Amino acid sequence: MLALLMLRSPLSLAAALLAAACGGAPAAPPTPAPTTAAAPAKATPPPVLQDPIIVIGAGAAGLAAAVEAAGAGARVVLIDRSTVFGGHAVVADGGVAMVGTPVQQAVRLTDTPALAAEDLLAWGQDADEAWVRRYASRSRPDVYDWLTAMGVEFTGVTQMPGNRVARYHRTREGGLGLVAPMYRNALALGVELRFSEDVNDLIIDEGRVVGVRTRGIRDGRDRMRRATAVILATGGFESDLERVRQNWPRGVTPPDRVLTGSGRNSRGDGIDLARQARAGLHRMDHQWNIATGLPDPRTPDGERGLEAVVPRSIWLNRLGRRFVDENAGVRVTYPAVLHQPGGYFLAIVDADGARALTIAAPDWGDAGRIDREVLQNSLLVARGNDLRALARAAGIPSARLRRAVAVLTASSSARRC
């Protein structure tokens, strides 16, 4: 039996990671204790901060900032409008690209910063070369060692398109496996947490950010919190589809329907706050959008989407034409999908291919759930017991479907020979 998955429009995922640091006035160091000429030189005590460092956002970026600041001795207040930590990462895969790690060495992979930088620069679009080189050479100590020292466990590596070596490190529990240890460390370091609190304003005094204005989501109370420095780690803007369209990458037309699979609070508030502090904003159109979006079956007519991974499928446009190599990677498939009539495509799978479908989110790991909520959902999937019935159900010419399936079957038999 053949099933047809209709992936109707690209799914827009968080990309514009804006973690702008708005430096406030550093607190004056305390007056040093009087010393005599004969006394041995004492190390200067760390400055006593009158006001805390405020970090807005308890996602991966905000937790990392809070852990670092608290580890360096600062008093840190971490504010999030959500009721829980983790932000977007709790629904993400949590894979981290790193270079020269023990996980790679355990499977006898040789990887070097030079090789990684070459791959990333060749595959990345408009990549910032200095940043790529820095990341490639520092990801082992600054990311891998830092995360594993906090208790993050990496279970293996996967090779992603554009990489000559497997570098995408997986954690045991996806994104949650990444942020939960950070959160535990933040607690251990005494970071003060303020959940269910919305930051709606920066307090700026003579051009310096000196605090924030917040409103409690549960109690409705307005508060003013003074700060030595304020760090914006409020994530991207991909759950505000108007902003997504305003900042759509140049050169490709957005489809009629765009879905978001981003964290629900990724609405770009930090961008407005950063503007208020006259921060420079750049590369706003560098969105990470994907082509294999599937309307979320819980709200099929809504704006939410899921990233479907359909490894063994043939993609046809609504005229029944195959238009791209399905395995070419998102850099190739995404613009190709956008250029199709209606901006969507149909992914054709047989019964084995349907079983291979996965959803890129930790709460969709159960194949039974995918079967019940996606494969059996007639709003998302059309079925046919033969190619003619399938073509009819999908509204595409039967001869084209037959030809596409024949070409693919021939090429996969040739590969097997």
Applying CB under 6 A, among 119, 296, 307, 326 the residue interacting with ligand FAD is 307
Q: Which of residues 8 and 88 has its CB atom nearest to ligand FAD in the complex?
A: 88
Decide if residue 88 touches ligand FAD (CB under 6 A): yes
Binding mask 110-149 for ligand FAD (x = CB under 6 A): ----------------------------------------
Please list the residues that pair with 350 across neighbouring strands.
Answer: 2
Decide if residue 314 touches ligand FAD (CB under 6 A): no
Decide if residue 52 touches ligand FAD (CB under 6 A): no
Q: Which of residues 360 and 404 has its CB atom nearest to ligand FAD in the complex?
A: 360
Q: Which stretch binds ligand FAD (CB under 6 A): 46-54, 81-89, 152-160, 405-413?
A: 81-89
Give least dist CB 98 to ligand FAD, A: 11
Q: Which of residues 4 and 310 has its CB atom nearest to ligand FAD in the complex?
A: 310
Decide if residue 10 touches ligand FAD (CB under 6 A): no
Decide if residue 13 touches ligand FAD (CB under 6 A): yes
Q: Which of residues 82 and 313 has its CB atom nearest to ligand FAD in the complex?
A: 82
Applying CB under 6 A, among 181, 235, 293, 343 the residue interacting with ligand FAD is 235
Decide if residue 261 touches ligand FAD (CB under 6 A): yes
Decide if residue 70 touches ligand FAD (CB under 6 A): no
Q: Which stretch binds ligand FAD (CB under 6 A): 125-133, 261-269, 311-319, 348-356?
A: 261-269
Which residues bind to ligand FAD, rule: CB under 6 A? 13-14, 17, 56-62, 79-82, 87-89, 91-96, 175, 198-199, 233-235, 261-263, 265-266, 269-270, 307, 360-361
